[in-house]
Amino acid sequence: MRGTLFLVVGPSGAGKDSLIAGARKQLSTGFLFPRRAITRPEGSAGEDHIAVDRAAFERRERDGAFALSWRAHGHCYGIPVEIETALAAGTNVVVNVSREVVDAARTRLAPVRVIEVTAPPDVLRARLRARGRESQGEIAERLQQPKQVRADAVVVNDGALETAVGAFVAALRG
């Protein structure tokens, strides 16, 4: 049986990467949590990612190295094509993506389940300020109304991280 592709979406600061990291610790078999390629320096605040420069990213994208790719907030993001082999082998794959790629993923990589991670605007603003990657203007831009997406599950991450991780893992387990 084919694995399910879980697309984790939500506004910046909602804690998507924190929930994914928590789930990774609890779901050791049957799930793959691949690292994204991002045109952001390695070791910069935020998720563990594969740092690539823009030219290398664009070359890899042209060469078919990504199952999904997009641009947002001045960076390029890519999900490695190896997820397709994992899905075909029955492994579930969990990735943090832009809402912009959901429709393409549903068309090409089914079955797909979308998990939306949310938090109230004041919590998002405080988290974005704390991580220190964005200016006040960039924070305001990130907090603008995002594109709506049909989610299969919603996790509100506005309290204790372990509570939200529990809800996230439950959504992954279905």
Number of domains in the chain: 1
Reply yes or no on whether the pLDDT at 140 is more than 70: yes
Mean pLDDT of 66-89: 96
Question: Do 14 and 46 contact (CB within 8 A), yes or no?
Answer: no
Residue 89 sits at the vertex; the CA angle it makes with 113 and 52, to the nearest 5 degrees, is 70
pLDDT band at 133 (very low <50, low <70, confident <90, very high): confident
What is the span of the domain harbouring residue 75? 5-173
pTM: 0.90
Check which CATH number belongs to the domain holding 48 and give it.
3.40.50.300
